[in-house]
Amino acid sequence: MSDDHDDSPIAARVRELEAILEEKGLLDAAELDRALEAFAHKATPANGFRVVARAWVDPEFRARLLDDANEALPAIGLSMGGGLQVQRLLVVENTPQVHNVIVCTLCSCYPIALLGPSPTWYKSTAYRSKVVSHPREVLEQFGFTLPDDTEIRVWDANAETRYMVLPRRPENTEHLTEEELATRVTRNGLIGTAAV
């Protein structure tokens, strides 16, 4: 059974379900732990950085990513699988007119496979409630100020759908390689709480 010490009601229900499935012989706890450990080992923000860098240099990949991210990811050896279920990934693109921010108002749904473990602030009630009603104020708390005429769109993740922001490519980076561009991307940029 999972050693997760999360005391939330959802975590308690998961532990209870794991115990029932183990008792009925439908779940091998050691196998589940191995699968989760393997998934967590591969889950890193560097994956998201690679996705963005490829989208910046490859217009065809960018178009596929924005159209159907789950179908585009295997082109660079990634997927939204690896956990207990495959989640749908929607990638939303920042433009000069629109800035996107990701949140999960119910809990902390997040594309772990591409962004690694979620930051503590992402799971906080303060972020989850305030970014929906006052996104510009929240971004300013992160030290990120947008022009007044920039529209801010807040995307609410859920159990079936995760989101990732495709940030705008920084100016004067045309000379950089894809690998060099990946080093410019940040996890907060992929959530939308920072520029890249």
Please give the positions annotated as active site: 104, 107-109
Phi, psi of 98 (to 5 degrees): -130, 130
CA dist 52 and 187 (Å) reads 11
Bridge partners of residue 153, in order along the sequence? 100
CA dist 14 and 118 (Å) reads 19
- Residue 153 tokens read as 């769109």
The CA–CA distances, whole Å, from 155 to 14, 50, 81, 93, 131 equal 26, 22, 21, 12, 10
Bridge partners of residue 161, in order along the sequence? 88
